[in-house]
Amino acid sequence: MSDNLFSGKSFRTFNVIDDYHREALAIEVDSSLPAQQVIRVLDRIAAYRGYPKRLRQDNGPEFISNALEVWAE
């Protein structure tokens, strides 16, 4: 997701939701969210919840990188 502050500066949020348990596992907020930052968040979640069996994602630029594809495999 993305939005703008009153000053006009934009920011993005990376929301990780467990659909089955209807639980927000992480919300990362920054001016940009490169794939490596997304991977760090996913690794942090996996450290205490385990790795997911499936991922559902949108087509944002951080999700089409080779690094995230390698992580998901």
pLDDT value for 17:
92
Q: Are 33 and 16 in contact (CB under 8 A)?
A: no
**DSSP per-residue codes, 16-49:** EEETTTTEEEEEEEES---HHHHHHHHHHHHHHH
Tell me which amino acid residue 31 is: S
Split into its structural domains, the chain has a count of 1
Q: What is the residue range of 27's domain?
A: 2-72
Q: Which CATH number goes with the domain that contains 25? A: 3.30.420.10
Q: In what side-by-side order are the strands of the sheet with 2-4? A: 2-4, 10-18, 23-30
pLDDT category of residue 60 using cuts at 50, 70 and 90: low
The reply to whether the predicted model has a pTM over 0.85 is: no
Q: Give me the pLDDT at residue 4, please.
A: 94
Q: What is the mean pLDDT of the chain?
A: 88
Q: What is the pLDDT of residues 30-59, one digit of tens each?
A: 998 888 999 999 999 999 999 888 888 776
